[in-house]
């Protein structure tokens, strides 16, 4: 392990219904995803990273720019979903965000400052599971530019360089739900190609052939109501498209939205990697 390593990249969905208190009687329908979210969270905690960097597609956006929170702490709740008591507060990693802002300028990446904004559910849902597993350390939440603008490889590079600059170890989490159009009554309505997109995406993650994400049909992507592509491409770019230890932990779509939980990369240089993987199954 070298200074500033990104020791793991993972994918976690962000539907509030995955939180047991929100799911209520529907919990049985998402138990597979919930179990996988908990397993991945345990793996992260067992690696004991210096920080988490989470990429959320629901964070505030600006055209042509990526964003980072710069408040000393990151706060939010699921009030807008009717659950104000589900809240959290985590320390921001201001050394990392400062490094990211400086490096962005050097590399021609536009990065804006988000402050006095509550965390969105794209961040809160994965962080809820990580917090449940014991995470209370420095955390960074990154926002995306507008859909279709591209630049995810640049964002991944910025995440990698900032992590290398400040040192320690970093875990990168891509937050994203897959097609929102898997069945009649789904949030975005039904689309006949929705299942085809999810199958193609899951197969790419299953094989670790992440360059395949760049060749997925653009019309297909735009038609199925997904918000997983950009965050995932940025995450795999942050680890240089490495895929060691990649594994799809689960996939399901009981409510018409696809939920995939996956290890995108887990470097062999991280101390205790194999043991963490095995203990997470317990």
From 98, 107, 259, select the one nearest 179 (Cα to Cα). 259
φ/ψ region of 7 (left if φ > 0, alpha if ψ in -120 to 50, else beta) reads: alpha
Structure tokens at 42: 């345990």
**Predicted pLDDT at 267:** 85
Pairing of strands 111-114, 259-266: unpaired
Alpha helices in 5-48 (DSSP H): 20-23, 31-47
Q: What is the pLDDT of residues 182-201, one digit of tens each?
A: 999 998 999 999 999 999 99
Instruction: Tell me which H or E stretch contains 279.
Output: helix 273-279
**How many angstroms separate the first and last alpha carbons of the chain?**
26
pLDDT digit string (tens) for the chain, length 282 residues:
455 699 999 999 999 999 999 999 999 999 999 999 999 999 999 999 999 999 999 999 999 999 999 999 999 999 999 999 999 999 999 999 999 999 999 989 999 999 999 999 999 999 999 999 999 999 999 999 999 999 999 999 999 999 999 999 999 999 999 999 999 999 899 999 999 999 999 999 999 999 999 999 999 999 999 999 999 999 999 999 999 999 999 999 999 999 999 999 998 644 444 454 555 555
Tokens, residue 243: 């895929």
- pTM for this model (two decimals): 0.94
Residue 3: per-residue pLDDT: 54
Domains of the chain as residue ranges with CATH: 6-279 (3.40.830.10)
Alpha-carbon distances, residue 143 vs 79, 136, 192 (angstroms): 20, 21, 30
pLDDT given for residue 272 in this prediction: 44
Q: Give me the sheet containing 51-56, strands edge to edge.
A: 111-114, 66-69, 139-143, 51-56, 170-175, 6-12, 259-266, 247-252
The answer to whether residues 77 and 87 touch, using CB atoms and an 8 Å cutoff, is yes
Q: What is the CA radius of gyration of the chain?
A: 17
């Amino acid at each position: 392990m070298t200074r500033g390593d990104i020791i793991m990249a993972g994918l976690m969905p962000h539907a509030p219904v995955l939180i047991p208190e929100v799911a209520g009687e529907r919990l049985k329908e998402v138990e597979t995803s919930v179990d996988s979210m908990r397993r991945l969270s345990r793996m992260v905690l067992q690696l004991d990273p210096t920080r988490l960097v989470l990429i959320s597609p629901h964070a505030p956006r600006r055209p042509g720019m990526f964003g980072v929170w710069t408040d000393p702490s990151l706060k939010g709740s699921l009030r807008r979903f009717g659950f104000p008591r589900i809240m959290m507060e985590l320390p921001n990693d201001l050394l990392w965000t400062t490094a990211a802002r400086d490096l962005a300028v050097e590399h021609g990446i536009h990065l804006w400052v988000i402050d006095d904004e509550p965390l969105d559910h794209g961040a809160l849902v994965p962080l809820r599971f990580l917090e449940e597993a014991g995470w209370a350390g420095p955390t960074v939440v990154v926002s995306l530019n507008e859909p279709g603008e591209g630049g995810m490889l640049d964002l991944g590079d910025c995440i990698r360089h900032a992590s290398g600059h400040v040192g320690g170890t970093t875990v990168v989490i891509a937050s994203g739900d897959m097609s929102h159009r898997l069945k009649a009554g789904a949030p975005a309505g039904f689309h006949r190609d929705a299942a085809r997109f999810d199958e193609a995406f899951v197969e790419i993650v299953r094989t670790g052939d992440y360059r395949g994400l760049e060749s997925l049909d653009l019309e297909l992507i735009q038609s199925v109501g997904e918000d997983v592509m950009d965050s995932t491409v940025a995450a795999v770019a942050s680890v240089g498209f490495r895929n060691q230890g990649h594994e799809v932990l689960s996939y399901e779509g009981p409510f018409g939205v696809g939920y995939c939980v996956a290890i995108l990369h887990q470097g062999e240089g991280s101390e205790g990697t194999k043991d963490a993987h095995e203990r997470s199954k317990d």
